[in-house]
Chains A and B, each alone.
Chain A
């Protein structure tokens, strides 16, 4: 029986899986996910797709905010850029999705670079405010560039297609979303085992010492913004392909706040944390809706109370997590794992 951590080489210290068992469990879990469309209802497939997309975007936000320490309130704006880029590339230019999705990501990364430039001089609170400004600038652009974005009425997006293959409904696009999710998570997890990822973490922990140790702070900050916006742009593209119509109403500032909530509740600076946070915050309104519907069956007035109820619960969850578990669900998960590792002889 394992009764502690025995890491005797650097390779073992860097390993993602401590033993073979979690690797097999993960593989089994992925096979399970692949078989979901065979029996799930359309409603739950839609929810699952939205959860996966949220995980991609939350991972992107976590790269810039959790790992590099640059607070961003621009997530909604970057999602919008990715979504509208998809609408233009797939709708107007009629390109297939293997071209559209990376291009949408790259366009968003370019926009992210532009808004990352203030991070040269700003950090903390001031950077958060600068990204807030970026949000409003993007929002203004998408509502007023009518020829490209359809203005306030929004714009419809064709189904993701490649030759004769057309991913028109939730059941079909599920596999695309899942494949991208797995690929991007794999990349993100490994990014933080490389020089670049470690430079990000060094900047977060102490930017001046990072500079002293030879990390080009400005270049790596911009790179963090670019990688993060690429993730969020891909998420925006998938969102557009899945919803088939996007309008400025899909990207209000509250979306950015939701994503910040996800990475904080999940765990800053943890890939697993982005997954937990995204699942939790996306499922929360769905579960609340179920609860609200069952209450509304007996007390019809509850119907109108759903929106405020959702807002109150979200706010309370965020505040309670920050007060009682500032390290997020990922840290709690680690505690649980550590407890069971030596059960029943833990002390």
Chain B
């Protein structure tokens, strides 16, 4: 029983970070129709920039984190302007490939500057665990999950009540209508990319903080978020949150119970098996908008 609880708890922690990164995917997909395969590289880059500022330039962690967010927001806008803007109207395969190309560039840049060795990440959370019911829980887990929850609430409110958020939803609904209402769709695209870059960077920093170390493997997290967004539905923010938690828990359960039977690796492959099942049964996910089309 305690083992099960521990697995579920770990699942919620990873799952909450999945939700955050999935939010980035969904924001881009909803407004621009692009699935960003470079999301994992955004996470990695954000975490490395934060680490470099905090360790090599001796900034206090909060300042380093703030600078990272500004940097990622600018990077998101630049990516949209230089790489994605010329691709408007191109077939979907070009859109997929251009983000894959972008991810290769970012991966190379990070490797060239910081190498491939595992680097210790500064202890941003207090080390001693707290007792939560029967389980000792590290404070990092709590803080990470709490900050993700806070961010998700902030973003939900942003999309519901602010002008920019409503403009983004209008653009997602129909670009033509949005244009005729005086919304600058280009600016919305740029905003979507910078939001996605920022949330992935925050996800990257949290993940590196929870794990206590950082290396290029962090980028793989981006590919693992794809089953999450498919489960939740590519264009549903609520779906991203639910999908993240479900996938995190499921992955940890598979890791705990199936791994001993098959000798490891089940944790990595389980989300993808679920992905195939979802795609055959419910291709638009739990909360996605169903496009009826017979082929």
Measured as residues with beta carbon below 8 angstroms from the partner, the interface class of chain A is 35 or more
Q: How far is the CB of A125 from chain B (nearest CB, A)?
A: 5
**Separation of A271 and B115 alpha carbons in the complex (Å):** 39
* Residues 99-110 of chain B, each 1 if its beta carbon lies under 8 Å from chain A, else 0: 011111111111
Between-chain CB contacts (< 8 Å), 9 pairs: A71-B93, A125-B92, A144-B262, A260-B96, A307-B111, A308-B110, A309-B112, A312-B105, A322-B94
Cross-chain contact B101 with A316 (CB below 8 angstroms): yes
B223 at the interface (CB under 8 A from A): yes
Closest to A264 in B: B97
Q: Which of A227-275 contact B (CB under 8 A)?
A: 253, 257, 260-261, 264, 268
Q: Which chain B residues border A317 with CB–CB below 8 Å?
A: 101
Q: Which of B256-294 contact A (CB under 8 A)?
A: 262-266, 268-269, 272-273, 275-276, 279-280, 283, 293-294
Q: Which chain B residues border A126 with CB–CB below 8 Å?
A: 230, 279, 283
Cross-chain contact B93 with A312 (CB below 8 angstroms): no
A136 at the interface (CB under 8 A from B): yes
Cross-chain contact B265 with A308 (CB below 8 angstroms): no
Cross-chain contact B223 with A144 (CB below 8 angstroms): no
**Separation of A132 and B226 alpha carbons in the complex (Å):** 10
CB-CB nearest 8 A-B residue pairs? A315-B104, A311-B108, A318-B101, A312-B108, A315-B105, A308-B111, A308-B112, A140-B269
Cross-chain contact A315 with B101 (CB below 8 angstroms): yes
Q: Which of A275-310 contact B (CB under 8 A)?
A: 304-305, 307-310
Asked, given contacts A128-B96, A217-B295, whether A304 binds B115 with beta carbons under 8 Å apart, the answer is yes
Cross-chain contact A308 with B283 (CB below 8 angstroms): no
Cross-chain contact B105 with A122 (CB below 8 angstroms): no
Closest to B41 in A: A315
A123 at the interface (CB under 8 A from B): yes
Q: Which of A309-328 contact B (CB under 8 A)?
A: 309-319, 322-323, 326
Cross-chain contact B279 with A322 (CB below 8 angstroms): no
A168 at the interface (CB under 8 A from B): no
Q: How far is the CB of A173 from chain B (nearest CB, A)?
A: 31
Cross-chain contact B97 with A134 (CB below 8 angstroms): no
A180 at the interface (CB under 8 A from B): no
Closest to B111 in A: A308
A195 at the interface (CB under 8 A from B): no
Q: How far is the CB of A143 from chain B (nearest CB, A)?
A: 6
| Secondary structure call for the A interface | helix
Q: Which chain A residues border B93 with CB–CB below 8 Å?
A: 65, 71, 128, 260, 264, 268
Q: What is A's interface to B at a CB cutoff of 8 Å?
A: 65, 71, 117-118, 120-126, 128-130, 132-134, 136-137, 139-140, 143-144, 207-208, 211, 217, 253, 257, 260-261, 264, 268, 304-305, 307-319, 322-323, 326
Which of B82-90, B186-194, B201-209 touches A?
Answer: B82-90
Cross-chain contact B280 with A121 (CB below 8 angstroms): yes
Asked, given contacts A71-B96, A126-B230, A261-B97, whether A312 binds B109 with beta carbons under 8 Å apart, the answer is yes
Cross-chain contact A326 with B105 (CB below 8 angstroms): no
Q: What is B's interface to A at a CB cutoff of 8 Å?
A: 35, 83, 86-87, 90, 92-94, 96-98, 100-112, 115-116, 223, 226-227, 230, 234, 262-266, 268-269, 272-273, 275-276, 279-280, 283, 293-295
Q: Which chain A residues border B272 with CB–CB below 8 Å?
A: 132-133, 136-137
Instruction: Kindly identify which residue among A124, A305, A322 contacts B90, using a CB–CB cutoff of 8 Å.
Output: A322
**Separation of A314 and B107 alpha carbons in the complex (Å):** 11
Q: Which chain A residues border B230 with CB–CB below 8 Å?
A: 126, 129
Cross-chain contact B97 with A318 (CB below 8 angstroms): yes
Cross-chain contact B96 with A315 (CB below 8 angstroms): no
Q: Which chain B residues border A316 with CB–CB below 8 Å?
A: 101, 105
Cross-chain contact A322 with B105 (CB below 8 angstroms): no
**Separation of A211 and B293 alpha carbons in the complex (Å):** 13
Q: Which chain A residues border B226 with CB–CB below 8 Å?
A: 129, 132
Cross-chain contact B276 with A319 (CB below 8 angstroms): no
**Separation of A117 and B281 alpha carbons in the complex (Å):** 12
Instruction: Kindly identify which residue among B86, B97, B264, B276 contacts A118, using a CB–CB cutoff of 8 Å.
Output: B276
Closest to B294 in A: A208
Cross-chain contact B295 with A129 (CB below 8 angstroms): no
**Separation of A128 and B111 alpha carbons in the complex (Å):** 27
Q: How far is the CB of B269 from chain A (nearest CB, A)?
A: 4
Instruction: Kindly identify which residue among A117, A144, A257, A264 contacts B94, using a CB–CB cutoff of 8 Å.
Output: A264
Cross-chain contact B279 with A140 (CB below 8 angstroms): no
Cross-chain contact A323 with B279 (CB below 8 angstroms): no
Name 15 extra pairs, CB < 8 A, besides A133-B272, A326-B94: A117-B280, A118-B276, A121-B279, A123-B295, A128-B96, A137-B272, A137-B273, A217-B295, A261-B97, A307-B108, A307-B116, A311-B108, A315-B102, A319-B83, A319-B101
Instruction: Kindly identify which residue among B90, B108, B268, B283 contacts A326, using a CB–CB cutoff of 8 Å.
Output: B90
Instruction: Kindly identify which residue among B83, B87, B108, B265 contacts A143, using a CB–CB cutoff of 8 Å.
Output: B265
Closest to A304 in B: B115
Q: Which chain A residues border B94 with CB–CB below 8 Å?
A: 264, 322, 326
Among A65, A121, A137, A307: residue with most chain B CB under 10 A:
A121
Cross-chain contact B276 with A311 (CB below 8 angstroms): no
Closest to A119 in B: B295
Closest to B83 in A: A319
**Separation of A190 and B38 alpha carbons in the complex (Å):** 38
Q: Which chain A residues border B104 with CB–CB below 8 Å?
A: 257, 311-312, 314-315, 318
Cross-chain contact A311 with B102 (CB below 8 angstroms): no
Cross-chain contact A122 with B102 (CB below 8 angstroms): no
Q: How far is the CB of A24 from chain B (nearest CB, A)?
A: 36
